[in-house]
């Protein structure tokens, strides 16, 4: 392992591409084994990155453990920790347009979306967790116990080394959801980026270092999930895992965490989210809302509203309007501010989506629009916005997460039937309800098995509200007022105000007191 310390990237004389390195124990770590980051819009190389391995994960965990045990971050006053988070947020804000452009180039999301979800949102989240560090009750008086002269305190203490494993779709935002509360609580962190989108996390490391975060407290390791991610999940010195990804991989992470050292685990996993339109909804608003629900980032969001439930009486009119409005979606260069739909992340993902469209046809669904690569496209990983009608909830396309721009439309006759269809799923991450009556929508929301329910909107992952899923959509919650709870351990410290046990009335037959010691 060789190291340099100037910056996360440098121009390679061999390729003339930016070359990104890992960040371990305050050092920028390069490797001979490099891989190429490719634009999903053009398939052109945009940078190279060091390929991390198990030895890099071990070095990062060792650095994190050392700094935690030394207390160089853990033992700082919470306000000092908050100041570092805020300084990093300020530095990122000054670079928000640059961060958005880079995120669009490596991940394919349209520029407006990258600016919001890979720049503005993580900056706001960092500031939110800084506020939580100041306000959090790391120690609070315990209750006086009636009848016993006894009191105490309840402490919330940092867990130790926390590993964060994030996917490629919103890499910086989802990383901050884990890094922010972990650092605010005083932990040390190892972040494993997705190999397709490591740049934002490495730039975050750069700003943390400039803001004064002690070396070793925050580390970024690249590499694939089957080696580096799996190793972190079993590493005996990692005490907490925060993971976002598929339900299939999440189960493996949870199993590895349990069988290694019973790590604490937070899992934010897949979804097949229902989006229910009630018969009194404003159709124009609901149509545009349904498009936003399933098409944001080309459907590459775990909470996407990919099952649209429509009353039978309005189904045909609604679908006709939906297909018409999809004609206004602009597919093209994601760096063009006018573009509203970008590519999928990879050729593998594009082919997976197209296979599901063919499966839908075989199952008896109708392709109302889309379902193919846009005509004339000869580079990049593109699929047209696709609407499937005549879908029933037993079809695989209605039950399995496709992770692409594909909407399944299902009919219902009664609200009770709509709720039953919505809840008939292995997932329970999110849901939407559209209605002119907030009371009616709230009544539906209360009956839905989902961690987040949005009324007359979708994708509202507000930092003040906890986010996570029911059933196979995950374990635990991120964001919200109690976010630091997932990165602290409660400790009860009880103080006896009457230490002479001979005067206690426990109903025990105490032995004869021993003679006093000299």
Q: What CATH number should be reported for the domain holding residue 180? A: 3.40.605.10
Q: Are residues 328 and 253 in the same domain?
A: no
Give yes or no: residues 248 and 301 share one domain: no
Element (H, E) at 111: helix 111-115
- Look at residues 4, 61, 100 and name the one whose alpha carbon lies nearest to residue 220: 61
Reported as a single tens digit per residue, the pLDDT across 36-58 is 999 999 999 999 999 999 999 99
Provide the token pair at 3.
């190291």
Considering the domain architecture, whether residues 213 and 84 belong to the same structural domain is answered as yes
Residue 130: CB atoms within 10 A of its CB come to 24
CB 96 within 8 A of CB 114: no
Give domain status of residue 468, yes or no: no
Q: Mind listing the pLDDT tens digit for each residue in 343-382?
A: 999 999 999 999 999 999 999 999 999 999 999 888 999 9
Domain boundaries, position 392:
274-463
Please report whether residue 255 resides in a domain. yes
pLDDT digits (tens, 9 = 90+) for 231-261: 999 999 999 999 999 999 999 999 999 999 9
Asked if residue 265 is part of any domain, the answer here is yes
What pLDDT score does 11 carry?
47
Residue count (the chain): 518
Please work out, in degrees rounded to the nearest 5, the angle formed at the alpha carbon of residue 324 by the alpha carbons of 319 and 325. Answer: 100
Q: Which of 148, 387, 407 is nearest to 398 (CA)?
A: 407
CATH number at residue 435: 3.40.309.10
| Closest C-alpha among 88, 100, 223, 85 to residue 163 | 223
CB 124 within 8 A of CB 144: no
Strand partners, 2: 30
Mind listing the pLDDT tens digit for each residue in 294-353?
999 999 999 999 999 999 999 999 999 999 999 999 999 999 999 999 999 999 999 999
CA–chain centroid gap for 430, Å, is 13
Query: Alpha carbon of 260 to those of 60, 167, 189, 234, 454: distances in Å?
Result: 18, 23, 19, 5, 38
Alpha carbon distance 400, 418 (integer Å) = 19
Whole-number Å distance between alpha carbons of 439 and 39: 46
Residue 255's nearest CA partner among 237, 225, 230 is 230
Looking at the structure of the chain, the number of domains it has is: 2
In the chain, % of residues over pLDDT 90: 88
Residue 510 lies in a domain: no
51 with 222: CB under 8 angstroms? yes
Quickly state the pLDDT bin for 282 (edges 50, 70, 90).
Answer: very high
H or E stretch covering 212: none
Same domain, 239 and 303: no
Q: What is the biggest distance separating any 2 CA atoms in the chain, rounded to whole angstroms?
A: 96
If asked whether residues 407 and 488 sit together in one domain, one would say: no
- What's the CA dihedral at 207, 213, 216, 220 to 10 degrees? -30
Closest CA to 355 of 297, 397, 315, 395: 397
User: In terms of domains, do 168 and 144 share one?
Assistant: yes
Domain assignment present for 175: yes
In Å, how far from its chain's centre is CA 107? 15
Record the tokens describing residue 513, joined without a space: 């007191």
Active-site residue set: 268
């Amino acid at each position: 392992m060789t190291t340099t310390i100037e910056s996360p990237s440098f121009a390679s004389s061999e390729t003339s591409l930016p070359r990104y390195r890992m960040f371990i124990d305050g050092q920028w770590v390069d490797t001979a084994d490099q891989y190429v980051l490719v634009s999903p819009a053009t398939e052109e190389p945009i940078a190279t990155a060091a390929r991390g391995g198990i030895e890099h994960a071990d070095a990062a965990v060792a650095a994190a453990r050392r700094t935690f045990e030394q207390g160089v971050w853990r033992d700082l006053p919470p306000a000092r920790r908050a100041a570092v988070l805020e300084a990093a947020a300020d530095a990122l804000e000054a670079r928000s347009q640059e961060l958005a452009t880079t995120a669009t180039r490596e991940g394919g999301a349209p520029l407006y979306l990258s600016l919001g979800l890979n720049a503005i949102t993580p900056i706001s989240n960092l500031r939110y967790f800084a506020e939580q560090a100041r306000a959090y009750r790391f120690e609070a008086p315990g209750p006086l116990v009636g009848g016993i002269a006894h009191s105490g305190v309840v402490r919330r203490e940092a867990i130790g080394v926390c590993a964060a494993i994030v996917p490629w779709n919103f890499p910086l935002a989802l990383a901050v959801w884990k890094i922010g509360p972990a650092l605010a609580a005083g932990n040390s962190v190892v972040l494993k980026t997705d190999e397709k989108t490591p740049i934002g996390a490495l730039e975050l490391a750069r700003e943390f270092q400039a803001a004064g975060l002690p070396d070793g407290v925050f580390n970024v390791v690249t590499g694939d999930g089957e080696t580096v991610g799996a190793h972190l999940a079993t590493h005996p010195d990692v005490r907490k895992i925060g993971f976002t990804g598929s339900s299939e991989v999440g189960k493996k992470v949870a199993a590895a965490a349990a069988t290694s050292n019973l790590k604490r685990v937070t899992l934010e996993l897949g979804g097949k989210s229902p989006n229910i339109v009630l018969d009194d909804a404003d159709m124009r608003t609901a149509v545009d809302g349904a498009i936003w629900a399933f098409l944001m980032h080309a459907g590459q969001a775990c909470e996407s509203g990919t099952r649209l439930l429509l009353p039978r009486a309005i189904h045909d009119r609604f679908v006709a309007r939906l297909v018409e409005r999809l004609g206004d979606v602009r597919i093209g260069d994601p760096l063009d501010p006018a573009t509203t739909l970008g590519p999928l992340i990879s050729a593998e993902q594009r082919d997976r989506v197209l296979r599901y469209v063919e499966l839908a046809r075989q199952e008896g669904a109708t392709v109302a629009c889309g379902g193919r690569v846009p005509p004339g496209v000869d580079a990049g990983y593109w699929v047209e916005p696709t609407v499937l009608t005549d879908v029933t909830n037993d079809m695989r396309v209605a039950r399995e997460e496709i992770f692409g721009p594909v909407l399944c439309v299902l009919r219902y006759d009664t609200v009770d039937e709509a709720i039953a269809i919505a809840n008939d799923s292995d997932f329970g991450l999110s849901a939407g309800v559209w209605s002119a009556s907030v009371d009616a929508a709230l009544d539906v929301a209360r009956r839905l098995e989902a961690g987040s329910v949005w009324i007359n909107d979708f994708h509202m992952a507000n930092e003040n509200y906890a986010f996570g899923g029911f059933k196979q959509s995950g374990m635990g919650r991120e964001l919200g007022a109690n976010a630091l709870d997932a990165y602290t351990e409660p400790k009860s410290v009880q103080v006896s105000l009457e230490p002479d046990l001979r005067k206690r009335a426990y109903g025990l037959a105490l032995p004869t007191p021993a003679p006093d010691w000299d």
